[in-house]
Chain A
Amino acid sequence: MGIEAMHELSIAMSIVEMAQEEALQRGVQVNAVHLKLGALSGVVKEALLSSYEMACDDTPLRGSRLVIEDVPVVIFCPHCKVQRPLSSIQLFCCAECGTPTSEIVHGKELEVVALEIQ
């Protein structure tokens, strides 16, 4: 673990900063931040959740929640010509026909999508 947690902490700090900006603009208080997190975002959910708590300390977001929606990997199959969810992150091929593909449609998301405000 060690240094790898730092990466989630700096991401958590960016999330808190963004939420604060939005809250300030709208003159509201944030109870929760909703985040879309792709399986290929390079961010570990558990590490992000604990980092979020740390990042909120001493900010108006203290006590707020981070609600994470996991986004699975969706690929485009060049053979079937459709988008399909990947069955394993260790095997990038179409779940129906088995054609290898590295055309990623979803799974890299790291996006604040909504705020629960009061």
Chain B
Amino acid sequence: MSPEPRLVEVRRNVLKQNDVVARALRHRFHAAGVFVVSLVSSPGSGKTAFLEKTLTALRPRYRVAALVGDLATENDAARLARSQAPVKQIITGTLCHLEAAMVENAVDEEGWDLGQLDFLFIENVGNLVCPSSYDLGEDLRVVLLSVTEGEDKPLKYPTIFNSADVAVITKSDLAEAVEFDSGAMRRNIQAVRPGMRVFQLSAKTGAGVEGYLGFLAERLAESRTMAAV
């Protein structure tokens, strides 16, 4: 005779393993004084072009490097290499998001001296769903949207907006052609994430990029001041 089923209490966070690695990474990044920015967006919203622009513009003044997640190809790393910053591709295979352990492995494999970097960028796989649950140890998570995607996108993906710190609206050079309603997009962002900082820019023309770069520089300085206290 089998015993009666009974309920035993266990309390275990399913993503604990990732969270533990992410926490250790964050600690390591802070100790090295590198400010880490991750990018999430839908496929095709212009993450790679935006990152290329960011790396190229920052490189004369800062030491920068990037990790790029992609399902199958190394095309993004090849494009980003044009910025002459060190770039490492992480091929995720069938995995639709990056996890903290993949970031840790990539950093170790490249043997980058984190203490010699000011900024490390992590481009996630193009996906607005899966990356939201995974902490990568970053200081700042940026969610990208392009003007061609429709102003209601924030309402469709409130979870990713709530896991991000800053929103960047890209491809502003196309705004007029697609009759982009900036006010509506900004209202929708504020509806799902009140107080979220928003930048609107064009990686192609460079319009608006300075404001975003200035913000990154401020955040880097802030984090170093905090570390020094």
Question: What residues on B are CB-neighbors of A10 within 8 Å?
Answer: 95
Count, A-B residue pairs, CB within 8 A? 109
Q: Which 3 A-B pairs have the closest CB atoms?
A: A100-B194, A7-B130, A42-B132
A118/B2 contact (C-beta < 8 A), A3-B94, A42-B160, A93-B194 known: yes
B2 to chain A, nearest CB (A): 6
20 A-B Cβ contacts within 8 A?
Answer: A3-B127, A4-B96, A4-B127, A4-B130, A6-B130, A7-B97, A7-B133, A14-B15, A14-B17, A41-B133, A41-B159, A42-B130, A92-B158, A92-B194, A100-B194, A100-B195, A111-B12, A115-B10, A117-B5, A118-B4
Check if A69 is an interface residue, CB within 8 A of chain B.
no
Check if B7 is an interface residue, CB within 8 A of chain A.
yes
| Residue from B12, B94, B95, B132 with most neighbouring chain A CB atoms (10 Å) | B12
Residues 1-34 of chain A, each 1 if its beta carbon lies under 8 Å from chain B, else 0:
0011011001100110010001000100001001
Asked whether, in the complex, the Cβ of B194 is within 8 Å of the Cβ of A116, the reply is no
Name the CB-closest residue of A to B131: A42
B12 to chain A, nearest CB (A): 5
Check if A91 is an interface residue, CB within 8 A of chain B.
yes
Check if B129 is an interface residue, CB within 8 A of chain A.
yes
A112/B95 contact (C-beta < 8 A), A4-B130, A42-B130 known: no
A18/B14 contact (C-beta < 8 A), A102-B162, A114-B9, A115-B8 known: yes
Question: What residues on A are CB-neighbors of B97 within 8 Å?
Answer: 7
5 new A-B contacts at CB < 8 Å, known A40-B158, A92-B158, A115-B8: A4-B96, A91-B192, A102-B194, A111-B13, A113-B9
Q: How many residues of B contact A (CB 8 A)?
A: 38
Q: How far is the CA of A92 from the CA of B190 in the complex (A)?
A: 8
Question: What residues on A are CB-neighbors of B3 within 8 Å?
Answer: 118
Asked whether, in the complex, the Cβ of A6 is within 8 Å of the Cβ of B193, the reply is no
Asked whether, in the complex, the Cβ of B129 is within 8 Å of the Cβ of A7, the reply is yes
Q: How far is the CA of A118 from the CA of B5 in the complex (A)?
A: 5
A114/B15 contact (C-beta < 8 A), A10-B95, A104-B162 known: no
Judged by DSSP, the binding face of B is mixed
Q: How many residues of A contact B (CB 8 A)?
A: 37
Asked whether, in the complex, the Cβ of B155 is within 8 Å of the Cβ of A90, the reply is yes
A90/B191 contact (C-beta < 8 A), A3-B71, A14-B15, A110-B15 known: yes
Check if A101 is an interface residue, CB within 8 A of chain B.
yes
Question: What residues on A are CB-neighbors of B193 within 8 Å?
Answer: 92, 102
Question: What residues on A are CB-neighbors of B162 within 8 Å?
Answer: 40, 92, 102, 104
CB neighbors of A among B162-185 (8 A): 162-163
Question: What residues on B are CB-neighbors of A43 within 8 Å?
Answer: 133
Check if B61 is an interface residue, CB within 8 A of chain A.
no
